[in-house]
Structure formats: structure tokens, C-alpha cells
Amino acid sequence: MNTTLNKPESQQTGAQNGTSRVNYLTPLANILETKDGYVLEAEMPGVNKDGLEITVENGELTLIGRRAPVENRGREVYRESRAFDYRRTFELDPSIDTAGITAKIDQGVLKLQLPKAEAVKPRKIAVRD
Amino acid sequence: MSLIRYQFPELTNWSSFDRLNSLRDEMTRLFDFSWPSRDSGLFSGWSPALDVWDDKDNLVVKVELPGLKKEEINLSLHDGVLTISGERKHEVEKTEGQSFRSERYFGKFQRSVTLPTAVDASKVNAAYKDGVLTVELPKAEEAKPKQIAVGVS
């Protein structure tokens, strides 16, 4: 079975009004499957708890990270980072118990625990005498 | 009639590999960089994004370093060059489960930046928050812009 969380590549998402186009960065992510579920880590430097918006809809998990506002730092001398917010969508494995998803963010790394529903967890069946 | 297999002269003794290696060495020498080592994945590293800002009194260097502990970041200032280095270690052992997606970099990193103005090294201040390292380097007195009053005679 190879169902897992997939990602549609979407760097840009047009705003519905058509006038402004919103650019997003795709956060780098790691996904690990464990016995009890999945662990998803996404890198969102500059984002804290208040800037996070995590939604599950139609079997899709959407992560949005908005950067905490930064006070004016003067003149830009050299720049590599991009100031856009983060957004990424993952298709959820149907075995995931969406009610049990938990999230926390620590130093710009969002970590989601996506537990598998009890019904699909590997279960050992005892053999009776 | 002899039954010796014909060998293409240019394919003998793996010499082409030797030539390839020497070519690679030449290129390494030419560009003065080392090739990614085998154990570090596709790219030898992780080059965190670095920004430099300049307000009137300070230079501000910001580096995106998600998921580190502040003890894992090393900062040094030498001859006007600020160097940020460290190592990000795997939190979860890979053997614990099956990996489906592995995009994050782990391992060592180092970034250096030559500061555009002289700074007062004794007053450098660094903070690590939300995965972003912010280093504030107060400019040395002689590097600060000065207002010169025009006297009226």
C-alpha cells in the first residue's frame, strides 16, 4: 500500500479577486510513518504560533504560516531570504484520525502528529487455547 | 588465425576513468572548492538564507535557522567577518519509522559575511527566535554617519 501524504506543487496561489496574486513559499517538509501514525515536520522560519493556520478539509491538510511582523530594520544591504508567507497542502491518508491531529511549533519548525485511526493500527490477535 | 579479443585502444586499463579523475581534480583546483563528500547527500550542505540590514547605528544580520537549539549556534567575529556555524542533528532516529519525504537538511552549516562597516565587537548582541537568528552589531563610532552643523559666521 503506498497511500501517503502527497503534495501538489503549488508555489503560487492566485487570490480569488484576481487583482492581487499572493505568493507563498513551500516549506520544506519531512514525513515519517511510525507504528501509530505519521509525523510531519515543516520548516517555517519566522513564524510563531499566532501565525499558523492549519486546516483539514476534504481529506486535505493545509498548512499556512504567516511571518510575525518585523520592525523596520533600516536599509537592506544584502538579502537571500524571501519575505513571503508559507503554504503547503498535503493529501491525507484515509487511515488518519483527523480529530486526533496535534501540532506544535518550536523555533520555526512545525511538527504535526497525525495518528492512525484505531481500526487500521496493526493489532496482535491472541490465540486462545 | 588468432583468437585474441580485439580491444579498442581507448578502452584499455580504465584509463578514461583516470583521465576523468584528473579532469575533476583540475576543475577542483580551478574553482577552488571541494566536491560534495559522499556521506552528505546530494549537496554537501545547507546554506541558510542570510540577510544584512543597515540602520543608522547598527548592522543587523539575520539567518534563517529553523529547528536548532541556541547552544548549537556558534558565532564568531574576526577581522570584520562574521561567521555563523553549527550543526542540526536529527531529532528522530531514521530507524524508527519509514520516511516518506525528506526535504529538510541536517548536518553542519557555516555562513560568513564580510561586514560593510566597522563594528564594535564588544557590544554585539544575538537573539534566536522563531527559527531566525538576529545578530545586532553596533557600528563603531568612526563608521557612524555624522551630522556636521554648519556654523553661521
Q: Please state the domain extents for chain A.
A: 12-120
Q: Say yes or no for a CB contact (<8 Å) between A32 and B92.
A: yes
Architecture of the domain defined by A12-120: Sandwich (2.60)
- Position B95 scores a pLDDT of 58
Contacts A65 to B, Cβ<8 Å: none
Which cell numbers hold the place of A92?
Answer: 491525507
Cα distance between residue B112 and residue B61, in whole Å:
11
pTM (predicted TM-score): 0.71
- Position B17 scores a pLDDT of 56
Question: Does residue B58 lie in a domain region?
Answer: yes
- Position B88 scores a pLDDT of 87
Query: Cβ distance A56 to A98 under 8 Å?
Result: yes
Cα distance between residue B101 and residue A5, in whole Å:
9
- Position A117 scores a pLDDT of 87
Cα distance between residue A67 and residue A47, in whole Å:
4
> What residues in chain B have per-residue pLDDT under 70?
1-22, 24-45, 91-96
Question: Does residue B32 lie in a domain region?
Answer: no
Domain span including residue B76? 43-90+103-143
Question: Does residue B38 lie in a domain region?
Answer: no
Q: Say yes or no for a CB contact (<8 Å) between A30 and B102.
A: yes
Do the interacting molecules here have an ipTM over 0.85?
A: no
- Position B34 scores a pLDDT of 47
What is the number of domains present in chain B?
A: 1
Query: Which residue in A91, A93, A74, A90 sits closest to A33, CA to CA?
Result: A93
| Per-residue CA distances from A107 to A34, A71, A119, B41 (Å) | 24, 19, 35, 24
- Position A11 scores a pLDDT of 45
Q: Say yes or no for a CB contact (<8 Å) between B132 and A108.
A: yes
Q: Mean pLDDT, consecutive 10-residue segments, chain A of 129 residues?
A: 43 47 87 89 94 93 89 83 91 90 94 87 81
Taking residue B73's Cβ as centre, other Cβ atoms within 10 Å add up to 19
**Domain harbouring B120, CATH code:** 2.60.40.790
Question: Does residue B114 lie in a domain region?
Answer: yes
